[in-house]
Amino acid sequence: EKLKPDSTTTLVCGFCSTGCGLNVHLKDGEAVNLTPDTQYPVNLGMACPKGWEALAPLNAKDRAKSPMIRTKNGKLVEVDWDSAMKRMVAEFKNVQSKYDDEAVAFLSTGQIVSEEMAFLGALTKFGMNMIHGDGNTRQCMATAVVSYKQSLGFDAPPYTYKDFEESDVIILVGSNLCIAHPIMWERVAMNKHNPEIVVIDPRKTETAVAGTQHYPIAPKSDLAFFYGLANQLIEQGFIQQDYIDKYTNGFEGFVEHVKEYTPEKVEEASGIKADQLQKLVDTIAAGKRVSLWWTMGVNQSHEGVRVAQALINIALMTGNFGRPGTGANSITGQCNAMGSRLFSNTTNLLGGHDFANEVHRTKVADITGVPVDSIPEKMGWAYDQIIDGIASGKIKALWVIATNSAHSWINQQSFRDIIKKLDFLVVQDMYHSTETAELADMILPAAAWGEKTGTFINSERRYGMVKKVKRAPGQALSDFNIFKLVANYWGCSEMFKKWTHPEAVFQMLKACTKDQPCDISGIKDYQMIDSCGGIQWPLLEGEELQDHERRLFADGKFHHPDGKAKFLYEEPRKALEVPCQEYPSWLLTGRGTSSQWHTQTRTKNSSVLTKLYPKDIYVEINAVEARQLKIEPSEWVWVKSRRGKLKARACPSYHVQEGQVFISMHYPECNYLTFPSFDPYSRQPSYKACAVKVSKM
Ligand code: SF4
């Protein structure tokens, strides 16, 4: 009776980019439990284990409840907000006056609401004179952003989830949809066209087991494989010349480029034989609605942009764009990675604008009320460049917001050595116990999802509402209110007098999108988003929202000045680290379960979710190789790379091929092994491949 709800409200889930709708049941205005929203067009009444347990992390014992400062003896002590703000501002200003403005930087997240991302980006870059700041979205989505921008003229994922149900050929590349995006997989399962479900992945993942065709390409052979596939589609005449002529540029060059990728060359690079490649060619040729989907297996690569563009090229040349059930479709990772792509003020100026463009700077200044000369003309460094900047002594103070770099960044030993060089590290998080918070000089306690208001944008470009359904513990404040406080203490609050509350910021962001491809001037307010079951961008002023599921490019008009999409391609690059005699196996990393989220900071606080996942770190090793090495199931083994080693329980399996092992990213030790190489265009780290050795202890 004590927990019997007296009302219900709706909001979207705060973990992954699927953006499921949840009904949160309240007692006296506080959440007591939740159920999936049966009316929400994304999840249709379903939720994965994380969604069902979304309230549990709010009640964790290690919630940060008060600002904390590290004393000279290394202990963190609680202080009030006034002391914390004075100290933070003094430290940051001191660094800026001793070195220069660029000596202070920030690292943020795809987990906070768009209004907070925008405020952080505006406060730091317009108010605090910082140049360098990036998000953890660099680790997951940067490749998709750059590939879309270069190929289509704007970062515009073209699809809607209904496309999962409308394709007759679904090609999943480097995407373990079954566990990484389980509700999207459920949408695939609802497909009534008896689709071919093609999985292209070195591992026999859960999705590969559930699909109808699996192509276990060798790690880092993607580009040669897709060029070879394109070559065969062209040679055998399975292209849509009309579509290519009308809507694209650069096809002739692409035809020439892929000619050398014969089936023999594809087999040599990828291990996929000519008859298997032909089967895929025939499958695509027979498909009336072919969709290609990719996730981190493509994005987290030293040549991810060109691989993503190889998929875009195949969709374009076969005319699989803009129609139901088609598209070259990037699936985002975090709940608000899409918001970060448009509004974080890192990779572009608010609303998908350019820092370098004076007209864009003036437009943003006019709308947001900040002086135009406070807007920098150049973009800041990417995540890896910020870390390098700390290593070289150019960056001396860092503000980390809602991300756990000391678990998630690639090549962790090096990261931890570098981070110790900082003069001052501020970590703003809902927990004081993350690996990164443990290194901090100051912790700022932040409210969590469910304790504040704002909007997320999901993978299919849908705005969804986040609402306050619980009070934040102790003195914890929403990130929005922390940014307001920092602005006050910094002395730049006058510049942000229009930034009063999240919905006021939403209205300004909406105005920033006007006349952009992501124009949402037709969304009136929060109430409209809530009552419509979320709204996908674009929605132009005066446009009526007729359908819950809308896709882009139905008219074949792309966002380059000539209105055409571009075929982009280049020679594959060699991976900088490959297996050798000393380290004979590829290490593949990725999600290991649908019950844990990233670095487990939140999901480890649900007793239900932790029961669904092995506590001990494990390494999947090919069963034949395990026998040769006399390694028994569950035995502790060493896994070593040139950068570090870890102990893991052996999990012999046929899901990894000989010469490959797999470790889940959810375990903190994983990134002691990974090798820091980056895509040259997106600067996204290549988490998916490095050389390791497994041995008995
Ligand atoms: Fe939340 Fe993603 Fe699970 Fe949906 S699939 S309930 S958005 S974690």
Question: Residue 464's pLDDT is what?
Answer: 97
pLDDT of residue 600: 87
Comparing CA positions, the residue from 347, 415, 357 lying closest to residue 681 is: 347
Q: What gap in Å lies between CA 201 and CA 210, rounded to an integer?
A: 13
Over range 81-91, report the average pLDDT. 98
Does residue 347 register a pLDDT over 90? no
pLDDT at 41 > cutoff 90: yes
Residue 275's contacts (CB-CB under 8 Å, 6 or more residues apart) are none
- Report the 10 Å Cβ neighbour count for 697: 8
What is each CA distance from 672 to 576, 580, 599, 649, 692, in whole angstroms?
17, 19, 14, 16, 11
Quick one: which atom of ligand 1 is closest to the CA of 48? 3
CA atoms of 392 and 34, how far apart (whole Å):
48
Average pLDDT, the chain: 96
Region label for 477, one of left (φ > 0), alpha (ψ between -120 and 50) or beta (otherwise): beta
Over residues 642-673, the pLDDT tens digits come to 999 999 999 999 999 999 999 999 998 999 99
Q: What is the pLDDT of residue 310?
A: 98
Among the atoms of ligand 1, which is closest to the Cα of residue 52? 6
Residue holding tokens 């952080």? 120
Q: How far is the CA of 492 from the centre of ligand 1 (A)?
A: 38
Distance 607 CA to ligand 1 centre (A): 18
**Is a pLDDT exceeding 80 seen at residue 2?**
no
182 CB under 6 A from ligand 1?
yes
Percent of the chain with pLDDT over 70: 100
377 C-alpha vs ligand 1 centroid, how far in Å? 38
Specify the residue with its C-alpha closest to ligand 1, atom 2.
16
pLDDT of residue 362: 98
Ligand 1: distance of its center to the CA of 16 in Å? 5
Ligand 1 atom having least distance to the Cα of 16: 2
Q: Using 50, 70 and 90 to split pLDDT, how confident is the model at 520?
A: very high
- Taking the centre of ligand 1 as the mean of its atom positions, its distance from the CA of residue 18, in whole angstroms, is 6
User: CA–CA separation, 333 vs 163, rounded Å?
Assistant: 18
Q: Tell me if 48 CB under 6 Å of ligand 1.
A: yes
Which of 179, 183, 338, 459 is the best mutation target for the ligand 1 pocket, counting ligand atoms within 8 Å of the beta carbon and taking the most?
183
Name which CATH class applies to 158-330. alpha beta
Burial class (CB in 10 A: 0-12, 13-18, 19+), 636: middle
Q: 190 — alpha (psi -120 to 50), left (phi > 0) or beta? A: alpha
Binding site membership of 20 for ligand 1 (Cβ less than 6 Å): yes
Residue nearest to atom 1 of ligand 1 (CA): 51
Q: Which pLDDT value is given to residue 361?
A: 97
Mean pLDDT, rounded, for 49-66: 96
- In this prediction, residue 565 carries a pLDDT of 98
Question: Residue 47: CB within 6 Å of ligand 1?
Answer: yes
Cβ atoms of 106 and 344 within 8 Å: the answer is no
Q: Provide the percentage of residues in the chain whose pLDDT is more than 90.
A: 93
For the Cβ of 331 lying below 6 angstroms from any atom of ligand 1, the answer is no
Note every long-range contact of 372-376, with CB atoms under 8 Å and residues 24 or more positions apart, other chains counting: 374/126, 374/127, 374/495, 375/125, 375/126, 375/349, 376/125, 376/131
- Could you report the per-residue pLDDT of 189-222, keeping only the tens digit for each? 999 999 999 999 999 999 999 999 999 999 999 9
Residue 485's identity, in one-letter code, is: L
Q: What is the DSSP string of 550-567?
A: --S-TT---SSTTS-EE-
Q: Record the tokens describing residue 81, joined without a space.
A: 């907000």
Q: Is 683 in the pocket of ligand 1 (CB under 6 A)?
A: no
Determine the residue of 12, 20, 179, 462 to mutate for testing ligand 1's pocket, defined as the one with the most ligand atoms within 8 A of the Cβ atom: 20
The mean per-residue pLDDT over the stretch 405-409 comes to 93
Q: Tell me, what's the pLDDT at 601?
A: 87
**How far, rounded to the nearest angstrom, does the alpha carbon of residue 235 sit from its chain's CA centroid?**
36
pLDDT at 528: 96
CA distances (Å), origin 655, targets 9, 201, 207, 208, 624: 42, 11, 11, 9, 11
pLDDT attached to residue 545 = 87
The dihedral built from the CA positions of residue 106, 109, 114 and 116, taken in this order, carries a sign that is negative
Please give the structure tokens belonging to residue 302. 């030293």
What value does the mean pLDDT take over residues 100-119? 96
User: Rg for the chain (alpha carbons), in Å?
Assistant: 24
Cross-strand bridge partners of residue 106? 133, 399
Yes or no: say if 633 and 601 are a contact pair by the CB < 8 Å rule.
no
Half-sphere exposure at residue 573, Cβ-oriented, CA atoms within 13 angstroms: 17
Mean pLDDT of 563-567: 98
- Which atom of ligand 1 lies at the shortest distance from residue 42's CA? 4
pLDDT per residue as tens digits for the range 220-256: 999 999 999 999 999 999 999 999 999 999 999 999 9
Distance 155 CA to ligand 1 centre (A): 23
Can you tell me the distance from the alpha carbon of 338 to that of 456, in angstroms, rounded to the nearest whole number?
Answer: 8
Q: Kindly give the distance from the C-alpha atom of residue 465 to the centroid of ligand 1, in angstroms, as a whole number.
A: 14
Beta carbon of 15 within 6 Å of any ligand 1 atom: yes
Task: Indicate if the pLDDT at residue 682 is higher than 80.
Answer: yes
Closest CA to 418 of 409, 429, 431: 409
pLDDT for residue 430 is more than 80:
yes
Peptide bond connecting 668 to the previous residue in cis, omega within 30 degrees of 0: no
- Determine the distance separating the centroid of ligand 1 and the alpha carbon of 206, expressed in angstroms: 18
CA–CA distance, 538 with 552 (Å, rounded to integer): 9
Question: Ligand 1, atom 6: nearest CA belongs to which residue?
Answer: 51
**What is the pLDDT at residue 446?**
98
* Distance (Å) from CA 507 to ligand 1 centroid: 27
Atom in ligand 1 nearest the alpha carbon of residue 12: 7
Alpha carbon distances (Å) from 31 to 58, 59, 206, 447: 10, 11, 34, 15
Judge whether 173 and 203 are in contact, CB under 8 Å. Answer: no
- Separation CA 195–CA 166 (nearest Å): 9
Ligand 1 in reach of 18 Cβ (< 6 A): yes
CATH of domain 585-696: 2.40.40.20
Contact 270, 218 (CB under 8 A): yes
Quote the pLDDT of residue 284. Answer: 98
Using DSSP, state whether 107 is helix, strand or coil: strand
Question: Given its phi and psi angles, is residue 647 left (phi above 0), alpha (psi -120 to 50 degrees) or beta?
Answer: beta
Q: Best substitution site from 48, 140, 591, 606 to test ligand 1's pocket, by max atoms within 8 Å of Cβ?
A: 48
Question: Contact 112/335 with Cβ under 8 angstroms?
Answer: no
pLDDT tens by residue, 586-614: 999 998 888 888 888 898 999 999 999 99
C-beta of 505 in contact with ligand 1 (< 6 A):
no
Q: What are the extents of the domains in the chain?
A: 158-330, 585-696
Half-sphere exposure of 331 (CA within 13 A, CB side): 28
Supply the pLDDT for residue 597.
82
Regarding the beta carbon of 592 and ligand 1, being less than 6 Å apart is answered: no
CA dist., res. 372 & res. 358, Å (int): 9
